[in-house]
Amino acid sequence: MPSYRDFHRESIDDPEGFWRREAARIHWETPFSDVLDRSNPPFARWFCGGRTNLCHNAVDRHLAARAQQDALIYVSTETGIERRYTYASLHAEVNRMAAVMRSLGVKRGDRVLIYLPMIPEAVFAMLACARLGAIHSVVFGGFAAPSLAARIDDARPALIVTADAGARGGKVIDYTPLVDEALSRAQHAPAQVLLIDRQLAPERLKAPYIVDYEPLREQYFDAHVPCEWLESNEPSYVLYTSGTTGKPKGVQRDVGGYAVALAASMEYIFEGRPGDVMFTASDIGWVVGHSYIIYAPLLAGLTTVMYEGTPVRPDGGIWWRLVEQYRINLMFTAPTAIRVLKKQDPALLRAADLSSLRTLFLAGEPLDEPTAAWIGDALGKPVVDNYWQTETGWPMLAIQRGVEALPQKLGSPGVPVYGYDLRLLDEHTGEPCASGDKGVIALGYPLPPGCMSTVWGDDARFVKTYWQSVPGQHVYSTFDWGVQDDDGYVTILGRTDDVINVAGHRLGTREIEEALSSHAAVAEVAVVGVNDAVKGQAAIAFVVLRDAGAVDDPDAAKKLEAALAATVDRQLGAIARPARVHFVSSLPKTRSGKLLRRAIAALAEGRDPGDLPTIEDPAALVLIREVVMGRG
């Protein structure tokens, strides 16, 4: 294996040669004629003329060698159910689901909107769409009816697949009333809804458009549905970016490029081998769930663990017991989840046999140094940070241990991943930034395989949003700030639209959060910018303490607030000091663990937080509002 630098350089200087080699990882029913078509920038077409199928590569292709190996292990601590599916039984279930969808009129090119909790049928539905050549659009199971309706109208699905209910933290969440309201709001509602009846909802909606899945599954129990062979650049799915206001922005993904990129990433980034067990603690409604719960592990012949539940129920040791029970080799989650587990009894982690675990991967938000150091020391295993977006579909910054095991630098997700011509550019001039200078993280053309093809139904929006924001440069903007050191390591400083301009000084909220997180009393923190009549903006911090009782006394709270401000002073200077530090018991997060920073900022300014997914603790938003208004 060449060095990282040589490997990355080859991928940039000779993308056709590099990706031609990697394309051998998947089955092509018809060989591609050209590796790359860049005749219409900023659009790029990969493996042109090649015909393949994601479902075939994820399931059928493995039947000869590993039919009896577990493909999917499903565990729900909400219902107490565990199910195992070998590659052979997964193949059978996907064929049943595909036959049911076909009987309801779904055909190649149709959209199928999937609004499901973390249950095996969600995997079956996604793979069945891929098998039929239909385009799945998974909507996070918890978006409210108006958000769901907007996504229905944008995707115009031929069918919706949903369940009677989900479960989270011991609470049942009725889905069918949300679907019913969304359909009444939507202008392009499908005629039918396929229902997975888990028998969790106390009163299931009996609408005439609902079709029960189980009787049809029995009817098509022995069905075999042949794979549709799709040209590499046909769309495989549309995934809407979370928290979108106004018209939803659907990230469109292709078929062949996505399959190749994910298959390669399993070796070079995740070091996954056929037969390994991978546990990705995310949700299918997010890109991490698409790529690393479902497609990538199965493409590479691994066993994937799908989990319905929280990291602290029945207690804070549940994830570690799953590692022991299922001999998990690779684990992937968000830093927020680790910060939550950091507050649990450390004996719960020590009690589990973690000898099977090789590596913990973290992504979804910047990983702060205290959290990285704590979990690395606690596990005694490599902790590999990585950075990417819904739009890229797979990591663009990481230590690629399968290429060269470069050292990890705490606070940095790593170096540019092969295929990504990653640059840091000045936001005003578009010129390259010097080492150590803050700039916008951008990607040169063409984007590598697996990245978004366009915005669904809106090529012009794709061009305007992503390719025309950096002056004088024809580059893709990530809208993230970063800084790169002399060794090529990049540190993420936050969103370009989350920058705080304090008295003419531009400060990234992430920098302030990092400073506050280094204080021993802090468990979690979110920093947002609010309007200030004098300084333009001011930083406001919302802090969750390891010991909530430390601020029961008002004098103690003032003392700790002063200590935290002094910590920021020491690390960043007085200009970065938060105007206020509010102590709260929890922060609003999505189910996959991301902080709802924009919602926090809106509440801090007395604004409506807008279009939000269901959050882990709805009371957290109320608490933020009460604290800001002085009643908390």
- Chain centroid to CA 284: how far? 9
Structure tokens at 228: 């549709």
The alpha carbon dihedral of 188, 194, 195, 196 has a sign of negative
Same fold, 1-30+56-90+236-420 and 101-219: yes
Percent of the chain at pLDDT > 90 equals 70
Q: Is the CB of residue 211 less than 8 Å from the CB of residue 418?
A: no
Mean pLDDT of 303-315: 94
Q: Which fold has domain 101-219?
A: Rossmann fold (3.40.50)
Examine the pLDDT at 605 and tell me if it is beyond 90.
no
Write down the domain spans for the chain.
1-30+56-90+236-420, 101-219, 503-628
**Amino acid sitting at position 206:** K
Examine the pLDDT at 317 and tell me if it is beyond 70.
yes
Examine the pLDDT at 338 and tell me if it is beyond 70.
yes
Q: Is the CB of residue 468 less than 8 Å from the CB of residue 453?
A: no
pLDDT in tens, 219-229: 999 999 999 99
Examine the pLDDT at 244 and tell me if it is beyond 50.
no
pLDDT of residue 245: 39
Examine the pLDDT at 246 and tell me if it is beyond 60.
no
The span from the CA of 512 to the CA of 496, in Å, is 15
Confidence label for 615 from pLDDT (cuts 50, 70 and 90): low
pLDDT in tens, 453-484: 999 999 999 999 999 999 999 999 999 999 99
pLDDT of residue 243: 37
DSSP H stretches of helix in 427-502: 459-467
Examine the pLDDT at 371 and tell me if it is beyond 50.
yes
Mean pLDDT of 16-37: 98
For domain 1-30+56-90+236-420, give its CATH number from 2.30.40.10, 3.30.60.50, 3.40.50.12780, 3.50.50.60. Answer: 3.40.50.12780
pLDDT of residue 318: 96
pLDDT of residue 613: 55
- Tally Cβ neighbours within 10 Å of residue 582: 19
Q: Is the CB of residue 439 less than 8 Å from the CB of residue 424?
A: yes
Length of the chain as a residue count: 632
Examine the pLDDT at 575 and tell me if it is beyond 70.
yes
For strand 397-398 and strand 383-387, is the pairing parallel, antiparallel, or unpaired? antiparallel
Among 324-328, 340-344, 452-456, whose mean pLDDT is lowest?
340-344
H/E stretch holding 151? helix 145-155
Q: CA 517, 519, 523, 529: dihedral to nearest 10 degrees?
A: -40
pLDDT in tens, 32-70: 999 999 999 999 999 999 999 999 999 999 999 999 999
pLDDT in tens, 251-304: 999 999 999 999 999 999 999 999 999 999 999 988 999 999 999 999 999 999
pLDDT of residue 141: 80
Structure tokens at 396: 């663009």
| Homologous superfamily of 503-628 | ANL, C-terminal domain (3.30.300.30)
Mean pLDDT of 353-364: 95
pLDDT of residue 621: 67
Examine the pLDDT at 537 and tell me if it is beyond 60.
yes
Burial of 529 (0-12, 13-18, 19+ CB in 10 A): buried
Structure tokens at 91: 């193949």
Provide, for the chain, the percentages of residues in helix, strand and coil under a 3-state DSSP scheme, each rounded to the nearest 5.
Answer: 35, 25, 40
pLDDT in tens, 396-454: 999 999 999 999 998 899 999 999 999 999 988 999 999 999 999 999 999 999 999 99
Percent of the chain at pLDDT > 70 equals 93
Burial of 14 (0-12, 13-18, 19+ CB in 10 A): exposed
**Amino acid sitting at position 88:** A
Examine the pLDDT at 92 and tell me if it is beyond 80.
yes
Among 102-106, 548-552, 563-567, 606-610, whose mean pLDDT is lowest?
606-610
pLDDT of residue 630: 65
Q: Tell me how far apart the 2 most distant CA atoms of the chain are, in Å.
A: 72
Q: SS3 for 123? A: helix
Examine the pLDDT at 512 and tell me if it is beyond 90.
no
pLDDT of residue 142: 65
pLDDT in tens, 115-150: 999 999 999 999 999 999 999 999 988 677 877 888
